[in-house]
């Protein structure tokens, strides 16, 4: 998932996507430990997707905080 795609989604969808990616990442790490993982690069890809999603969520959180601080004083 690209950052531009992340920015098009609402927070609930982003959180759902993040949770799904984290769950899949956990499953892949178990497969890696058992030695049956076909593509170790998938773990790296999922980790980066989670980071992209977290970045967008944090940007939105900071924007919301700045707006609330601006209206308070």
Of the candidates 62, 8, 61, 66, the one whose C-alpha atom is nearest the C-alpha of residue 17 is 8
pLDDT in tens, 24-60: 999 999 999 999 999 999 999 999 999 999 999 999 9
CATH fold of 3-72 reads Helix Hairpins (1.10.287)
pLDDT at position 10, please? 94
Of the candidates 12, 4, 18, 19, the one whose C-alpha atom is nearest the C-alpha of residue 53 is 18
| pLDDT at residue 73 tops 70 | no
pLDDT at position 1, please? 80
- Of the pLDDT bands very low, low, confident and very high (cuts 50, 70, 90), residue 71 is confident
| pLDDT at residue 65 tops 70 | yes
User: What angle (nearest 5°) sits at the alpha carbon of residue 62, between those of residues 58 and 65?
Assistant: 140
pLDDT at position 36, please? 94
């Amino acid at each position: 998932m690209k950052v531009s795609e992340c920015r098009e989604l609402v927070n609930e969808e982003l959180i759902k996507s993040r949770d799904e990616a984290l769950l899949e990442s956990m499953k892949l790490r178990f497969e890696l430990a058992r030695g049956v993982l076909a593509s170790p690069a998938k773990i790296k890809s999922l980790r980066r997707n989670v980071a992209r999603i977290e970045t967008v969520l944090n940007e939105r959180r900071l924007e919301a905080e700045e707006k609330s601080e601006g209206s308070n004083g």
